Amino acid sequence: MTRVRILQLACIGAVILVVELLCRFGIINRFTMIPPSEMVLALADVITTAPWFWSDVSYTLGNLAAAIALSVIGGFLIGLAVHAVPRLRRVLDPIFTSYYSVPTFVLYPLLIVVFGIGPTSLIVLGALFGIVAMIVATVTAIDRIPRVLLKVARVSRLGAVRTALLMKLPAASPHLMTGLRLAVAYSVIGIIAGEFILSTEGIGRRVALAYNNFDNQTMYALLVLILGFAIAVNAMLGAFEQALHRRWYRA
Amino acid sequence: MSTRGRWLDYGFLVVGLWLAWMLLFQWAGSEALSPPGATFRRIGEYLGSLQFWTHAAATGLAFFYACLVALIGGLALGFVLGANRLAGQVGEPILSSLYSIPKITLYPVILLVFGLGVSAKVAFGALHGIFPVALFTIGALKNTSPVLLKTARVLRLKPLQTARSVLLPAALPEIVTGLRIGFSTTLLGVLIGELFASDQGLGFILIRAMEAHKVLDIMALTLLLFAFAALANTLLLAAERRMHRR
C-alpha cells in the first residue's frame, strides 16, 4: 500500500517538475503559465499582502457553508419523505436519474433574475447542485438498513425514537456519508462556478478578475488555493467515508 | 409494474411540475419568471428562427468534437490504467480527485493556452468528460472475471487482441455507463465555457439574454437545454439497460 502512495507522489512530483522545467526554459511562455514554484510564492504573497483576500475568502466560505447545510439537511429531510411515500418515489424517480445529466448551471442566470446578484443566488445554486445527491443517498441508505437490525430493535422493545437513533442512523451512516461527500463536492463546484461567471465578491470572482486583467501571478496563486482546498476536503471526507464503510461491511 | 401505472406516474410528474411552475410564477411575478404558455410559444419561435440554429450548430460542433476527444482519450487512459493493476492503483485516486475539483477555475488557463474560440470550448468540454469515461472504464476492467483473462492467456492472444476481443466485450456495459455520464458532463463543460467567454453558441445567447434581463428568453433557452439533455440521457440510459440485460 505504501509503495502505491510513493508512486503516486512520484507521479505528481514528476508532472510538476516537467511543467516547472517547461516554464523555466521558455517552452511555455510566461503569459500562458508561470512556473509552479512561482505560483506557490505568489499565493504566499497574496495571502500576506492583498487587502481583499480574507474578506473574499470568508464570503466564499460563508456561502459554501450555507449551501452545504441547505443541501445536506434539506436533502436528508426530503429523502426521508420520499422514502416514506413509495408513490412519490416512483413519480420523482425520472428526475433523480436524469438530474445530474442536465446542465443545472444554466439555471444561474434565472436565479440572478429572481434573487439578484448576491449571496442568495449563489447559495441557492450551490444547494441545487448538491441536494439531489443527498436525497438519493438518503433513500439508498434507508433501503440498505439490514432488516435484522429492525427485528433486534423490536425484540429489545426500543421505542420509535430510540430505534431511529440507535439502530437506523448508525446503520445508514456509510451511505449518508457518501451523500454528504458528494453534496459537498457539488456545492463547491456550484459556488465557485457561480462566483466565476457573475458575482460581486468571492474567490471565484477574483480569479475571473485576475484573468481579465492579465494578472497571471494572482490568478495562478488563487487556482492553487482553490484546487488544493477542493482536493484536501474531498480526500478527507473520502477517507472518513471509507473508514465507515469498512466498519460496517467487514467481509 | 404495469405500463399503465408507469404512464400514470409520468402524468403525475408533468402535472406536478406544471403546478409548481404556476405557483412559483404567482409568487415571484412576471419580473422574475415567465408563465408556461408564453415560454413554450417562445421555444416554438426559437425553433423556427435561423439565428437560433446557427448558435445551436456552433454549440453542437464544439460538443461533438469535445465528446470525441473525451471518449477516445478516456477509453485510452482507462485501458492503460485498467489493464495494469499497479498503474490502476496509482492512477485511479489521482483521476477521481481530478474529477471532483471545480474545473471552471481552469477555464482561464485553457483560454490562455487555446485562445478564444472553438478549440477552447472543445478542450474545456473534453476536460469535463474525460475523467468519468476513464474512471468507469478502469472500474469495468477491474471487475472483468479472471477466467476470461486466463483464457486469453491460454489462447496466447497478443495484448491488443486481448483488449479487442476479450476485455472490450466484457466491460462494455459499464463503459457505456461511463460514456453516458461523460456525455452529460461534456455538455456542461461546453455550456459553461460559452457562458464565461464566447462569441457564439447557446451559452452565449443565454448570458446575453441575462444581461438584457429578458426573462422569457432565459426560461425558454434553459428549458430547451434541459429537454435536450434529458432526452439524450433517456436514450443512452435505454441503450445501457439493454446492454446490461444481455
Q: What pLDDT digit, counting tens, does each position of A34-75 carry?
A: 888 888 998 898 888 888 889 999 999 999 999 999 999 999
Amino acid letter, residue A31: F
Grid cell for residue A104:
443545472
Cβ–Cβ below 8 Å for A196 and B230: no
The reported pLDDT for the residue numbered A122 is 92
CB A31 within 8 A of CB A214: yes
Please check whether residue A224 touches B, CB under 8 A. Answer: no
Residues 67-96 of A with CB under 8 A from B: 87, 90-95
Closest chain A residue to B184 measured between Cα atoms?
A: A101
Q: How far is B188 from chain A (nearest CA, A)?
A: 5
Chain B CB within 8 Å of residue A231 CB: yes
Q: Where are the domains of chain B?
A: 1-33, 35-245
Distance (Å) from the alpha carbon of A92 to chain B's nearest alpha carbon? 7
For residues A195, A201, A206, A212, the Cα torsion angle rounded to the nearest 10 degrees is 80
pLDDT for B237:
84
Q: How many residues does chain A have?
A: 251
Q: How many helices (H) and strands (E) does chain A have?
A: 11, 0
Using alpha carbons, select from A166, A194, A165 the residue that is nearest to residue A60.
A194
Q: Are A4 and B85 in contact (CB under 8 A)?
A: no
Residue tagged 445536506 (cell numbers): A72
Return the residue of A nearest to B217 by Cα: A110
Q: What is the 3-state secondary structure (H, E, C) of B102-149?
A: CHHHHHHHHHHHHCCCHHHHHHHHHHHHHHHHHHHHHHHHHCCCHHHH
Pick the residue of B19, B105, B109, B214 with the most A CBs within 10 A to test the interface with A by mutation: B105
Alpha carbon distance B79, B135 (integer Å): 10
- Per-residue pLDDT, A251: 47
Provide the whole-model pTM.
Answer: 0.84
List, for residues A193-203, the tens digit of each pLDDT value: 888 888 888 89
Mean pLDDT, all residues of chain B: 85
Q: Quick check: B175 contacting A, CB < 8 Å?
A: no
Q: Is the pLDDT of residue B137 over 80?
A: yes
CB B81 within 8 A of CB B92: yes
The pLDDT of residue B105 is above 70: yes
Distance between CA atoms of residues B27 and B33, nearest Å: 9
* Mean pLDDT, range B99-106, rounded to an integer: 83
Chain A residues within 8 A of B109 when measuring between CB atoms: 33, 223
CA atoms of B130 and A112, how far apart (whole Å): 31
Cβ distance of B104 and A204 shorter than 8 Å: yes
| Mean pLDDT in residue range B14-36 | 81
For residue B235, the tally of other CB atoms under 10 A from its CB is 11
Residue contact B13–A91, C-beta within 8 A: yes
SS3 of A50, please?
coil
Cell of A41: 510564492
Contact A32/B at CB under 8 A: yes
Checking if the pLDDT of B97 tops 60, the result is yes
Residue B33: per-residue pLDDT: 78
Say what the pLDDT of residue B86 is: 83
Q: Please answer whether residues B75 and B133 qualify as being in contact, where contact means their C-beta atoms are separated by less than 8 angstroms.
A: yes
Superfamily of domain B35-245: MetI-like (1.10.3720.10)
Query: What is the Cβ-side half-sphere exposure of residue B149, based on CA atoms within 13 angstroms?
Result: 11
CA distance A250 to B203: 48
pLDDT < 50 stretches in chain A: 251
Q: Shortest CB distance from A114 goes to which of B32, B100, B221?
A: B32
| Tens-digit pLDDT profile for residues B146-189 | 888 888 889 888 888 887 888 888 888 888 888 888 888 898 88
Angstroms from B165 CA to nearest CA on chain A: 30
Q: Which three cell numbers stand for residue B43?
A: 421555444
Please list the alpha-helical segments (H only) found in B167-214: 168-196, 202-211
Angle B85-100/A2-24 helices, nearest 10 degrees? 60
Single-letter amino acid, residue B10 = Y
User: CA geometry: angle at A102 spanning B136 and B244, to 5°?
Assistant: 40
Q: How far apart are CA A199 and CA A193, in angstroms?
A: 10
Closest among B232, B126, B227 to B182, alpha carbons compared: B126
Cβ contacts (< 8 Å) between B209 and chain A: which residues? 109
Grid coordinates 475539483 are at which residue? B101
Asked if B72 and A193 touch (Cβ cutoff 8 Å), the reply is no
Give the model's pLDDT for residue A167: 84
